[in-house]
Structure 1
Amino acid sequence: TDTISTGSDYKLWTTVKVPRGFSLEAHCELLAKKVGAERFRLMPAKGIFTLGVGHVRRKTIEPGSKADKPARMNPVQMVNLNEGEWDVLLALKREFAPEEIRPSPWVARAKEAGVSGEQFFRIAEELNARKIIGRFSTFLEHVKPSAGGVRVTRFNALFHWAVPHGREIEAGGEVGRHHILTHCYWREAGPEFKNVNIMAVAHGTDKQLLLDHKAAIDRHLRACSIPVSYTNVFWGGRSEIKPSEISPHIYRDWLAHQSKS
């Protein structure tokens, strides 16, 4: 944050996942030891209103620009996959090597998953319909300049709002409908963060413009008669993006390797 405020002593924020059957708490304890963290706080998402990319096209969005209706919340929940679905999901999720970027890149991935191209696409569509596929992106780095020296973004803003208990879905829907946002979640932050429960992320090259977007969202919440007892902005500096591992087999191997290192 720009100033000392509630929660500003937490300097590293990240999203973590572990496969079903493993502990987030134990995972973060391991990471804390690795990086020498004094403490950490888990804030599991209860619902997701917005999750996407599109940093470049968002550069021209005006403050206050929003969808015609509130964002719909997708509740966070456990899902069961059969072996064939796991094979396709892992083939879908793994990053492309440069030499794989060619016409019909999924043909080789379907073969890897042990299914035909038609089966691969059918299962992928089913996974997507079940909201298991989060997003695809050819751009994951937020701050580093491109090969041509152009920065896609310079500022990563994390917006916080504390709204009354029982109005989280309503408030998240009104916040999440704003086009500038790449993420919007319902997370319970607790007393250390003045009971913030709605969080959203926006990226840009102009810090004041991001603040203008935040002000427009604040005005919209007031217009909707949604009380906000506390709000804040956290600014991200350097960012490194890497998808979390969700395969139980790969994660188990990783844990075994960590125990030896």
Structure 2
Amino acid sequence: MSATTIPSNIDDPINAQILAVSEDRVQGFTRFPLTQIAEAAELPLETIIERIGAMLEAGTIRRVRQTLLATSLAPGALVAWKVPPKQLLSAFDFMFKEDPFSGHVVLRTTDKETPGSQYKLWTTLKVPKPYSMEKHCEYLCQQTGAEAFKLLPANKLFALGVGHVRRKELQPGDRTEEPGRVLDTKIVELTDREWRVLMALKREFEPSELQEDLWAPRAEEAGESLADFCEIAESLNQRRVIGRFSTFLEHVKKHKDGARVTKFNALFHWRVPEGKELEAGQEVGRHLCMTHAYWREGGPEFSNVNIMGVSHGTEKDKVLAHKAAIDQHLEEAGIPVSYTNVFWGGQSEIKPSEISPIAYRAWCEERGLDVEAMKN
């Protein structure tokens, strides 16, 4: 089949079969990730390579890469920004284009005026040790005209995964039998050699790079033998630094065929009693509609909410039905919710956050910033 006739849309049955696995089912470091996808999807390896390559070329898949558990590698936070309306779009562009340490960049609104609704720009941020998130945000304020920011670091994580293709068929209340797992945010210290391997490991794959043995060229790139490269990657995996091998769908913008994976991106907020955060987070995290769930302290700016999570959908009513099912489940689990809210995502851009201290030093030098002054 020629490249021009290989289906690249998500509704193609074979592509859907692949994506149901490749989005978030290949966890950790594995020696032959595309082979693992082929086995789980019950398709030939050649088909996997061909179809993922075609979807990547068409923009249906926006990137293919080995993800990292960045919360274990660099201090991070969700950041809410208060920006004057006239500067909102330029601030959005700066965060996306000029700051490699900001990842998700999203404009959010609420259905009515609520605590925190004046914070309309939201980003994720990673600032490698020993540099300061606070100082980094102060610099971004100077560059964008932002009047204020609120750092919302995660105390714990309860759900991490995407699986948009599988989630399309979910019904409100669908959840796992077991509570969501608790992921820590403790930082793992790495050597320069481990950083070199990690940087080669996480770089996105171009369509031409897709092959059975993905890691041999990356080992060479890192200046390691293949055996040493894989040994270091396995060690990092055991230390819970490695995330999943994933094909990331373009789930915000329209695909070439006009299809959209999701239309509504909702950030849910809940306030639960002090001491109930872990239990509540696990109960929220077990709901399959949730792509992320965290324990974050919102403070008075956000009515002291402490559990947050993200869910996506093509219909607003369906997204709200998912949330209503979670609200009911929390009540049935004996976890009272004294306040809740939804921040709806509008314009958004997504890129992996840079997490290397080497990259941070280089960025500071490029910007004319005193590297030492940016430290904690």
Residues 1:10 and 2:119 are matched in the alignment: yes
Please state which structure has a larger fraction of its residues in strand: 2
Structure 2 counterparts to residues 219-234 of structure 1, below 5 A: 219-234=328-343
The amino acid across from 1:86 in the alignment is: W
Structure 2 counterparts to residues 181-220 of structure 1, below 5 A: 181-220=290-329
1:177 alignment partner, one of 286, 305, 324: 286
Report the equivalent of 1:60: 169
Q: Percent identity?
A: 60
Structure 2 counterparts to residues 145-184 of structure 1, below 5 A: 145-184=254-293
Judge which range, 141-150 or 169-178, deviates more.
141-150
TM-aligned CA deviation for residue 140 of structure 1: 5.6
1:122 alignment partner, one of 231, 235, 255: 231
Deviation sequence 1:91-149 (CA, Å, 0-9, x none): 11222234323332221111111222233223223222322123443226431112322
Aligned residues: 260
The amino acid across from 2:345 in the alignment is: G
Q: How big is the alpha-carbon RMSD for the aligned residues of Structure 1 and Structure 2?
A: 1.5
* Conservation of the 8 A alpha-carbon contact between 1:141 and 1:239: no
* Conservation of the 8 A alpha-carbon contact between 1:143 and 1:154: yes
Structure 2 counterparts to residues 81-100 of structure 1, below 5 A: 81-100=190-209
CA distance in 1 between counterparts of 2:245 and 2:159 reads 14
CA distance in 2 between counterparts of 1:233 and 1:93 reads 33
Judge which range, 200-209 or 101-110, deviates more.
101-110
Q: Which runs of 5+ in 1 are unaligned?
A: none
Classify the secondary structure of the residue corresponding to 1:174. Answer: helix
Q: Which has the larger radius of gyration?
A: 2
Deviation sequence 1:48-79 (CA, Å, 0-9, x none): 11111212221111111111111121121121
TM-aligned CA deviation for residue 88 of structure 1: 1.3
The amino acid across from 1:25 in the alignment is: E
The amino acid across from 1:95 in the alignment is: E
Structure-1-length-normalised TM-score? 0.94
Structure 1 residue runs of 4+, over 6 Å off?
A: none
Judge which range, 241-250 or 92-101, deviates more.
92-101
Report the equivalent of 1:139: 248
1:247 alignment partner, one of 356, 359, 366: 356
